[in-house]
Amino acid sequence: MDLQNMNPSSLKSRFATRFLRALTKINAQKPISSSSSREIFQRYRRIKVAADKSMAYSVRSRRSWSRATLWRLRTRSPRSRLATLARRSSVKTRTTRAASHGATVVDRKSHGKENKEDGGVEAEELRELVPGGEAMDLCNLLDETAHYIKCLTTQVQVMRTIANLYSLH
Amino acid sequence: MASENDDMGLEMSSITILNKYSNTSESDPFFSSGWDPIVSQSESLGGSSIASHYHLVMENQGISGTSHVSQYQSNPSFVELVPKLTGFDGGNLSQIPGPFSLPQCNQIANSNERGSKNSLRSLDEHRISETLVGTSPNGKIRKRSPESDSPFRSCKNGNEEPGMDLSSEGCDGLREQAGKKPKTEQNLSANSRGKQAAKQDKDSSQSGEAPKENYIHVRARRGQATNSHSLAERLRREKISERMRLLQELVPGCNKITGKAVMLDEIINYVQSLQQQVEFLSMKLATVNPELNLDLDRILSKDILHPQSAAVLGFGPGTNPSHTFSPSTFTGTISGFPNTNPGFPPLPQTVLENEVQNLFQMGFYPGSTMDGFGLDGIH
């Protein structure tokens, strides 16, 4: 773990620097102490997007899930009209997902694609969790999941440390 | 002919010939509609010369058929059936019915020798580019995984595997009469050769024998069916189990779990919990007020990457019984988030030093905390 910390180009450091930059930018916009709950919520959304984006950028396009996340982030936002048009015309299945890759608890039995027997019901659920996972077979899905888990843990670590530092100062 | 057919029958019991070319147009004249052109050709040829050794060539993922074809040319006495795999979509490849294929194997061979070589060759090349072994549909066609292909080997001539018993036995007729043709991959049925069965284990231990080509050569294990389907299925299953093992190491607390469904459940729970943590932390960051503004970037990045130095920042040891910022609360606060939220901004700088240490440790060694969190969240 220490070696990873020392490595300047490790995933952790890349993500940390990117996320910090985004975070300071967000914090510079408004003073936090005088924010209403609505503003706090907006800031929360922005921070979450920044976290996901920084992580996806740190991974570049080497992984399918990062590409999917970046694509989703790009098409989601202010140009909603263009985004919906792009979604409709796009063939990708992941565009139909309106929800973010956050933890929406999905009814497991609602996707019983047993005809394919590609891991069954659980694999379908995993596909929904991992961004870009709908178009993958089980083998690659597991691959992507492994890398995704690794990146998520890094993300959680860095964010937790930042939160601790913020709150302790 | 009858004896030859019987011989074939014996050896064909465990062999399935797949000849479904659904993609290429070149294949259509050759394999279309039930072997009709083959039948007509063979009848015109008048009898077949089938060797007693019935060699089944099973091409897995694009084994080059050119060598086979050239073998056909120089070795008319050998019948080589070329079942091909269309792809591994779920493993439900259609099978050519047995009886239908039997009497026409020789015809196939003969016809292989004659006219349709070109089509076969181009077909094989096309097949090479098309068949996938459980790989992703996003274009990764030639996937070599020699580490997982322990039973895989290729029966190559001469130069590559000098110590191959299989070549001495099974490939004998083929090899010697066909001359030394490089790059001949064969997948002989284990059941059909009693002699070779004993050597199967030894041969199956030779792994990763596809250094030059980018496809996987599959060898049937002893006592296992040599269906192209089952081989493909086995390949796929092995890959999947290998990846599940990797995931088992990533997800904490999954060492005892055996079984794909349960493991997948655990993985799903873990990913969900991680995503929830990210959301929770981002909410926390949204509410926390960073009072330290000077050179935040540098300090924070330094602290994140070097946790030990951060502890020296000089937090006075003091007690603050009002704040609930304890490790247990921190780890298990998904449900208790609204409770702890108002506690963050007014935190003074008096924090227990051991708590600081705990927090930094938690931040970088989340193993224990993750277990706690995971357990709280799941069980």
Arithmetic mean of pLDDT, B173-191: 42
CB pairs under 8 A between A and B: 192
Residue A69 belongs to some domain of the structure: yes
**What is the C-alpha separation between B351 and B348, in angstroms, rounded?**
8
Query: Would you state the torsion angle of the CA atoms of residues B176, B178, B181, B183, taken in this order, to the nearest 10 degrees?
Result: -100
Arithmetic mean of pLDDT, B237-260: 84
Residue A1 belongs to some domain of the structure: no
pLDDT at residue B307 in the model: 53
Lowest-pLDDT choice from A63-72, B262-271, B320-329: B320-329
Residue A142 belongs to some domain of the structure: yes
Q: Give per-residue pLDDT as tens, B99-142.
A: 444 444 444 444 444 444 444 444 444 444 444 444 444 444 44
pLDDT at residue B227 in the model: 77
> Which ipTM score applies to this complex?
0.75
Report the candidate in B213, B227, B267, B224 with the shortest Cα–Cα distance to residue B66: B213
Report the candidate in B146, B27, B157, B137 with the shortest Cα–Cα distance to residue B82: B27
Read off the pLDDT band of B298 (50, 70, 90).
Answer: low
Confidence (pTM): 0.45
What chain A residue is nearest to B278 in terms of C-alpha separation?
Answer: A156
B-contacting residues of A 121-140, CB under 8 Å? 122-123, 125-126, 129-130, 135-140
B291-299: long-range pairs with CB below 8 Å, 24+: B291/A169, B292/A169, B296/A20, B296/A24, B297/A20, B297/A21, B297/A24
Residue A82 belongs to some domain of the structure: yes
User: How many structural domains comprise chain A?
Assistant: 1
Write the residue in A116, A120, A158 that is nearest to B304 by C-beta: A158
pLDDT at residue A121 above 70? Answer: yes
Read off the pLDDT band of B306 (50, 70, 90).
Answer: low
**What is the C-alpha separation between B54 and B181, in angstroms, rounded?**
19
Residue A2 belongs to some domain of the structure: no
pLDDT at residue B209 above 50? Answer: no
**What is the C-alpha separation between A39 and A34, in angstroms, rounded?**
9
A157 at B interface, C-beta within 8 A:
yes
Report the candidate in A160, A33, A13 with the shortest Cα–Cα distance to residue B290: A33
Q: Give per-residue pLDDT as tens, A51-80.
A: 888 888 888 788 888 888 888 888 876 655
Contact A20 B300 (CB under 8 A): yes
Q: What average pLDDT does the structure give for chain B?
A: 52
Lowest-pLDDT choice from A71-85, A133-147, B292-306: B292-306
Contact B217, B63 (CB under 8 A): yes
Q: Give per-residue pLDDT as tens, B34-65.
A: 444 444 444 444 444 444 444 444 444 444 44
Arithmetic mean of pLDDT, B172-200: 43
Write the residue in A12, A129, A153 that is nearest to B272 by C-beta: A129
Residue A125 belongs to some domain of the structure: yes
User: Which one of A19, A137, A150 makes the best mutation probe of the B interface by having the most chain B beta carbons within 10 Å?
Assistant: A137
- 3-state class of B242 per DSSP? helix
CA distance B234 to chain A (A): 13
More confident residue, B261 or B81: B261
Contact B284 A142 (CB under 8 A): no
Q: Give per-residue pLDDT as tens, A128-144.
A: 888 887 777 888 888 88
Residue-number span of the structural domain to which A19 is assigned: 7-168
pLDDT at residue B273 in the model: 92
